[in-house]
Structures are given as C-alpha cells and as structure tokens.
Structure 1
Amino acid sequence: MKKSYRHIRQKSIEEYVTFINSNLHLYTVKQLCNALKFPRSTYYKALVSVPSNKQLEYEEFSKKVIYQFNKYKQRYGAIKLQRVLSDAGTKCSIKRVQRHMVKNGLRSVVVKKYNHHSSKNNIPEKENILNRHFEADTINQKWCTDITYIHVLKEGWTYLASVMDLYTRKIIGYAYGKEITAELAKKAVENACLNVKNTKGIILHSDLGVQYTSQLFENYINSKKMIHSFSHKGNPYDNACIESFHATLKKEEIYRHTYRDFNEANRAIFEYIESWYNRIRIHSSIDFMTPQQKEDEALGVA
C-alpha cells in the first residue's frame, strides 16, 4: 500500500483523505495514517472542515464550464467557451477555462487536418475572380458553394451541396440528395436565391467539378445574372470557407453519429444547419456573432 501511494504526484491533504476513505474497507484509519505518516488529527479535521470561499468559487466556476460545454453539445473549445461565459456575465480568461476543462476531462470534438492531394484529371482552367478575397462589404455580394459526401447505412454515399454567404458565413441554401449531379448543385443555388430579389452581379465561387462546369449549371447562373468564379485546378484552398463549413459539419455532427438511412441523415443535417450552425454557433471570423445575427445586423433587424 505504501509503495503504490508513492506514485501519486501531489500529496495534498485532500488526496490523502480521499485515499484513506477509499481504503477503509481494508484497513482502519489508524493503520492507514501510520502507513502514510499522515496525522490522524489532520484527517479528522479535514473531514469536518468547511470549504473556503475560494474553493467554493472554484467549484462553482467548474460547474459553469461543464454546463456551457454540454449546452453547446460538446462542440466548443476553450476560446468559444470563454466567450459565452463572459457574455453570460462570468468574466474569465481562456487559460482559466482551459485549466477547468483539463481538470474535468472536457475536450471538444476535433477534426483531422486536411491534407490536399493534387488531382491528375485534365480539367481546363477557368477564371478565379474571387482569388481568395473572402471578405465582403455586405450580404449577397460574394457566395461560395461546394458538395460533400455523407455516408448512411441503407443507401451508402449521399451528397450535400451547400451555399454560403461570405459576409455572414451563413448557409443560405443547400440541397441533399442520393446522387452527385449538376441538378443537385443547381438546386442548392436555387434555394439560396429564394429570398434574394436581385441576384445580378453576385459572385458565386465553386471548384471545377463537373457539376459546376456543366451546361445546366452555367445556364442557371447566367439566367440569374450572377458571376461565376472558379478555384484554380486542384486547389481547394481557393474555396476554403465552404470547405471549412463541411469539415465542421462532419466534425460536430456527421462523424459523431451513424445514420440508418437518407431520411434520418436529412433530418440531422436540417437540424444542424438551421437550428445550430446558422442561429447558435458563434464564429470568430465575424466577431463571435452567429451568422443569423450578422445577417440581421446587415439588414437592420433589431
């Protein structure tokens, strides 16, 4: 018993008391205290001691960190937790939040770093108008779009096409389907256009996938008088914002669940985008606002 206890890094009074209490079914208090060379009087005093205000405040802050961590579905790390705690009236530093996360074993979901592999397909270059200038002055000025893969048990691979407004980072249109087609890509943009009276001059950026270079897609873009911008061949970083959204979607939702079929995944995607990503999830790139708040600010909505 004595040898095993030597491996405990810190021998605070609390740790001594915890160790003794956990072994009372094997030994008496006297035997344990003698073996540990820990005064029995200190042990009994610790049992009836009243926690200090500092300790109570420490434990209360830990509870707040745990509450916010679970409230945001374990998707927030220390930086965003610090922001929501401060907004809720609990002023604190990122370092303090980090310490309490470590103490309580809290770790936000993480995504593996994306490793790009060059495409060997012979894809003709098209004009990159956006040219990685992801900042916009207002809404409906610059949009970006892309398609990602989502696996379900029954149908296998399914596909989500999304459209993001670069000013608000809001997903303003999306379409989910069982086939990766130009029609799916077009449907996502159609949905983005539903609440926009004038689409003339909007820059819509995409990659050089066959869905986006198809005549069907180009005809629709032209009919809406939008300007089509393309990533350079084999370079996903030209469309980093929408790539980042799809990575976040998978990190925070898709990889954490197994979907039985297309309909179950469809409901989950709808809930994630409409209830979480657009309206609750804060973004550092827009001053820790939600996309909906950023849009409301642009529209002058109180």
Structure 2
Amino acid sequence: MGLLEPRPCARLGFLEEHRGEIGPIKKACGPMKVSKSGFHEHLGRKKPNAQIERETLEGFAVEAFERHKGRYGCRRIDREPRKSAIAASGKRVLRIMRKLGLAGKGAARERRIQKKVEPGDSRLNLAERAFSASGRNGLRAGGIACMPASEGRLHLAAVIDAFSRKAVGWSMSGRITEKVARDAIGHPVQREGPPDDGGLVFHDDQGAQHASRSFQRRLGSHGTVRSASRPGTPPGNAVAESFSKTLKRELAEEGSYGTRDEAEQDVFKYIELYCNRARMHTTLGYMSPVEYEPQYA
C-alpha cells in the first residue's frame, strides 16, 4: 500500500511557510502538484475564524506562561484569557499547552510514614486539618523553608493567614534558630493588627523552633493560642507546607543564588509583589490574596 499524498491545502501551506527557502515559486509548484495561480489564490484567502481563534489563544497561553516564569499549569493559564473576555475550555487550553510543550513546574508527591504522638503530649491540635476561617486574623499557620545559596542556606520562617492564604509575616536568617520563628510572628502584629475578637490561633508542626519556650512566650505576649499537628505529618500543617513547597518549586529551582542577600531580595519580591498580589490561588477561586480579602472580608 502506498503512502497517502498530503491534501492540496497542506501542500499550499507548506509552500507558503517555506517560500523563501525553495527558490522560485513557479518551479516549486511543479513537484508539489499545485498551480502557480492556485498558490497565489491561497495567499489571498482569509484565515478561517477557527484558525484565528486558535492562534489568538495560543498567543495568550504563551504570554501568560512566560509572564509567570513557567510557574502556572493549565488550570491557572485557563483563567488568564477569561480576564480578557476570551472563553476557552480547560481541555482546550491543556491541548494547546501540550502542543506548544508548555508544562508548569511540578513535583512528584512523596509518601511519608506518620510518627506516633508520644504518650502524655499536652499540645492540642485545634485546627484538625480544617484550615478555614471566617475572616482575617483568625487562624494562621507557620513553617520554615530553606533556600539554597552558594554562600550557605537562607532559612525563611513564614506565617500564612488561613483565610486569604496571604503571607502576613516572615523572617529570614542564615541560622535556623527560634529567633527567626519569633521575628516572623511579630511581623503580622505590626502589619495586620490584632484580631477583632482576640481569638487568634497559630498552628505549627511541632518543629523545635516553634516548640521553644521563647517562642511560646512570644505567642502569649500577643494573646495567641497555639495549635500543633502531629510531627512528621505534612497534611496536618497543609497551609504552611503548601506555601513552602510552592516557594521552593517556583523560586529556588529557577537557579542557585550566589549570596544569601541575593536570595533574600528575591524571596521578598516573590512574597510581597507576586505571591500576595498577583499569584492565583485555587483555594481562593483563582484570585490573589489581595483580590480576595476585600470581597470576602
């Protein structure tokens, strides 16, 4: 059985695409089995609406993907055209991204063995994995992430508001001590103010820095009640773990930093200018924390 010949429209499209590489069109039309007049007629035709729409959507996808430095997958890229009143299904955006070879940064999930709580542990889990709050400054979650640098690691202690997923406080240091955790919870007090009803809960994963006496005293001075999940169970502190995982995936893996100062400046810009103000969160209905707070506060 012989090979099927390409359709005339495909041959004309090939000639149009490579017209500057194959010499005179008159000579090229012969081997391609098309007429010169047919080729010029093809050039004068308008693009079908479906092709125009597809090319426009591809342009939006590439522009959004590059603007967010490859951090967005198809679900978030799907939301970008809608902001410009261009309707497109998620499956169509997924097909386009696969065709163009666009894949958001991701990481494989790891299974971990949960550690048992030691008998007599008096620390309570007030969140119980229900990380929802009716308003700002009701429930916050904290964790510590490490950013690599040639000079040495930069340790980032962050505090996330469970209501808006906003990073309300953070502190960075070259050493992972209880001081970096203390400074992180002091930042939101100055920036966000105390909760209206005084019932603020801070949740952590029983790390040594958060379990220190100095950290506990700092929580008490702010009128904050502590909640803790079992050690070795990332889902128990999902809000803070998700933030740390996203930060390291989208920022730390872009390239290594020469100094801690370079890493610190990049982390600050990522949190303050991008994560809080521009990055879509699926939990917030594809809004940024700054967009979400005024609408649902």
After TM superposition, the score normalised by the length of structure 2 is: 0.85
Determine helix, strand or coil for the equivalent of 1:195: helix
Q: Within 5 A, what are the aligned runs for 1:161-200?
A: 161-198=157-194, 200=198
* Alpha-carbon spacing, 1:12–1:154, altered in 2? closer, same or farther (3 Å): farther
Deviation at 1:195, TM superposition (A): 2.7
Q: Within 5 Å, which residues of 2 pair with 1:1-302?
A: 11=6, 13=8, 16-17=11-12, 21=18, 24=22, 29=28, 32-33=31-32, 39-41=33-35, 44=39, 48-50=43-45, 51-118=47-114, 125=121, 126-155=123-152, 157-198=153-194, 200-298=198-296
**Partner secondary structure for residue 86 of structure 1:** helix
- Following the alignment from structure 1 to structure 2, what is the Cα–Cα distance between the partners of residues 275 and 11? 51
Q: Distance in 2 between matches of 1:123 and 1:268?
A: 43
Report the alpha carbon displacement of residue 136 of structure 1 after superposing the two structures with TM. Answer: 0.6
42-51 or 249-258: which moved more? 42-51
Counterparts of 1:249 and 1:52 in 2: how far apart (Å)? 43
Would the aligned equivalents of 1:111 and 1:248 in 2 still touch at CA under 8 Å?
no
- Distance, in Å, in 2 between the alignment partners of 1:276 and 1:41 is 55
Residue by residue over 1:17-72, the C-alpha shift from the partner in whole angstroms, topping out at 9 and shown as x without a partner, is 566648837xx636743xxxxx2338736762523333223222221222222222
Aligned-residue offset at 1:99: 2.0
Q: Counterpart of 1:194 in 2: which secondary structure?
A: helix
> Aligned partners of 2:117, 2:178: CA distance in 1, in Å?
18
Structure 1 unaligned spans of 5+: 34-38
CA distance in 2, matches of 1:186, 1:123: 28
Once residues 272 and 164 of structure 2 are traced to their aligned partners in structure 1, the CA distance between those partners, rounded to angstroms, is 14
Deviation at 1:201, TM superposition (A): 2.2
Further displaced range: 44-53 or 174-183:
44-53
Q: For residues 221-255 of structure 1, give each alpha carbon's deviation from its aligned partner in whole angstroms, at most 9, with x where no partner exists.
A: 11111110011132121001110111111111111
Change (3 A) 1:117 1:180: farther
Letter in 1 for 2:175: E
How much is the aligned-residue C-alpha RMSD, in angstroms? 2.9
Instruction: Work out the CA distance in 2 between the residues paired with 1:134 and 1:236.
Output: 13
After superposition, what is the alpha-carbon deviation per residue over 1:185-242, rounded to whole angstroms, capped at 9, x for unaligned? 1111111221344353211000111111111101111111111001113212100111
For 1:106 and 1:113, the matched residues in 2 are separated by: 21
- Distance across 2 between alignment mates of 1:230 and 1:53: 57
- Going from structure 1 to structure 2, the CA distance change for 1:91 and 1:190 (only over 3 Å counts) comes to same
